[in-house]
């Protein structure tokens, strides 16, 4: 009996040693859905920088409204604004009424408007504005309309498109790489000791690399390592063996570049980073983070873990609750969402602000043209009425 027990013990040791020497990565394809989801964030195309289609219209309207106000304030305005010469450093002194409108910081705007009016293509407008200067009846209603037009042409949107576009670029790039270089030069911030200490384990604080970048999260989910080869959970072929023992290991960038190239081939198309597109990515990732893992239903994981026991560390193996994954949690088991997810949310808000601005531009264009027509029509009607009134007064009694 003693001899039989020795044989059983020896066999058990051999089996354990065999399993330790041949630790297996998760089965092929188990992380492919998540892989494609995360790479949607990596490949989302930043749209072209938006340009206000009403920019020229606004510039012309500002000139028209300003000139209208000037000639109403002083009938000699156009003559006063003519420069004494391009080389004359001292501008002409304006009458008090014009000085009130063309203050120091607005003097150049007044001269620019006058020069704009001198263009041969604006002869009719010049005649119209000069005719307004020659009328004497009350023109307060025209001044008020010009003020409304000028206010509309110079108002700022709730969020400046330049700011929104810059935020979209900055936050999306931050989410992708966490401030690290792209391609083969990418490195996982805070990588140390090994895969599990770099990618995370239940009950410990999420690691800085996976917290800051989608790229680090992807490497933790998709890469092979020295103890867990042949990881095809994300891609059809396994990559190189990644060294997770430090933050300067070149294999991290080499494998990320390989995975990224494989992703760009597998995705049918890269979507534009619209608010809707980004919100779908964010919602899907949040759902993954809230999905239970292991037989103790632990949350906070991205990536596959074995369900044969309590959820454990992300060391790249396929048993004992472990897996090829990244962990975002704490000692109490709560989900600590990664900062790159917050960056994606900020990018989504910026994209929404850009889309709102574009819609407002369409509306503003119609409103600006309407107000501009109103001012021009008021000027024309005022001139007609003034001429008619003058003729009436000229008739013999």
Q: Which residue has the higher pLDDT, 247 or 138?
A: 247
Cα dihedral 386/390/392/393 (nearest 10):
130
Among 187-196, 219-228, 330-339, whose mean pLDDT is lowest?
330-339
Q: Which sign, positive or negative, has the C-alpha torsion 47, 256, 336, 304?
A: positive
DSSP assignment of 268-316, as one string? S-PPB--HHHHHHHHHHHHHHHTS-BBTTTB--EEE---SSSB--B-SS
Q: What is the pLDDT of residue 11?
A: 43
> How far apart, in whole angstroms, are the C-alpha atoms of residue 176 and residue 37?
13
pLDDT at 82 over 60: yes
- DSSP H helices, 46-199, are 55-73, 77-81, 96-101, 107-117, 123-133, 140-154, 161-177, 195-199
Nearest to 101 by CA among 132, 63, 69: 69
**pLDDT at residue 217 above 90?**
yes
Please report, rounded to a whole number, the percentage of residues in the chain having pLDDT higher than 90.
54
Between vectors from CA 188 to CA 311 and to CA 22, what angle results, nearest 5°?
A: 50
Helices and strands counted in the chain (H then E): 15, 2
Q: Which residue has the higher pLDDT, 321 or 93?
A: 321
CA pair distance 307, 56, nearest whole angstrom: 63
Kindly report, residue by residue over 342-362, the tens digit of the pLDDT.
Answer: 999 999 999 999 999 999 888
Q: Are 36 and 263 in contact (CB under 8 A)?
A: yes
Residue 240 predicted with pLDDT over 50: yes
**Can you tell me the distance from the alpha carbon of 397 to that of 391, in angstroms, rounded to the nearest whole number?**
12
Give the rounded percent of residues in the chain with a pLDDT score beyond 70: 90
Looking at residue 269, its pLDDT comes to: 56
pLDDT value of residue 28: 85
User: In degrees rounded to 5, what are phi and psi of residue 23?
Assistant: -55, 135
Residue 9: what pLDDT? 43
Convert the pLDDT of each residue in 131-175 to its tens digit: 888 887 788 899 999 999 989 898 888 888 999 999 999 999 999
For 186, which DSSP code? -
Whether 88 has a pLDDT exceeding 70, the answer reads no
**For residue 14, is pLDDT > 50?**
no
pTM, to two decimals: 0.81
């Amino acid at each position: 009996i003693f001899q039989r027990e020795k044989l059983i013990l020896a066999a058990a040791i051999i089996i354990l040693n065999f399993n330790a020497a041949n630790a297996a990565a998760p089965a092929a394809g188990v992380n492919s859905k998540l892989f494609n989801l995360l790479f949607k964030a990596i490949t989302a195309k930043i749209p072209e920088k938006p340009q206000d289609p009403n920019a020229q219209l606004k510039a012309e309207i500002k000139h028209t409204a300003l000139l209208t106000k000037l000639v109403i304030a002083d009938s000699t305005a156009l003559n006063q604004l003519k420069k004494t010469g391009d080389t004359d450093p001292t501008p002409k002194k304006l009458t008090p009424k014009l000085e009130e409108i063309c203050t120091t910081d607005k003097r150049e705007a007044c001269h620019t408007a006058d020069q704009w009016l001198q263009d041969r293509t604006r002869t009719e407008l010049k005649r119209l504005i000069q005719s307004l200067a020659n009328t004497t009846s009350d023109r307060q209603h025209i001044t008020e309309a010009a003020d409304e037009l000028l206010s509309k042409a110079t108002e700022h949107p709730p969020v400046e498109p330049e700011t929104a576009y810059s935020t979209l670029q900055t936050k999306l790039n931050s989410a992708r790489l966490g401030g690290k270089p792209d391609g083969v030069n990418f490195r996982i911030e805070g990588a140390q000791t090994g895969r599990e200490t770099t990618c995370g384990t239940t009950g410990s604080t999420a690691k800085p690399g996976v917290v800051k970048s989608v790229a680090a999260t992807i490497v933790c989910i998709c890469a092979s390592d020295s103890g867990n080869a042949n990881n095809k959970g994300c891609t059809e072929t396994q990559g190189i063996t990644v060294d997770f023992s430090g933050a300067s290991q070149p294999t991290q960038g080499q494998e990320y570049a390989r995975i990224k190239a494989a992703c760009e081939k597998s995705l049918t198309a890269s979507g534009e980073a619209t608010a809707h597109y980004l919100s779908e990515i964010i919602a899907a990732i949040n759902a993954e983070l809230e999905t239970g893992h292991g037989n103790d239903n632990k949350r906070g994981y991205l990536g596959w873990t074995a369900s044969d026991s309590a959820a454990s560390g992300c060391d790249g193996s396929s048993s004992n609750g472990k897996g090829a994954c990244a962990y975002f949690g704490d000692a109490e088991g709560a989900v600590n969402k990664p900062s790159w997810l917050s960056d994606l949310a900020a990018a989504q808000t910026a994209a929404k602000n850009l889309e709102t601005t574009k819609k407002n531009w369409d509306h503003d264009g119609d409103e600006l043209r309407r107000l501009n027509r109103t001012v021009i029509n008021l000027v024309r009607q005022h001139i007609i009425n003034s001429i008619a009134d003058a003729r009436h007064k000229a008739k013999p009694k």
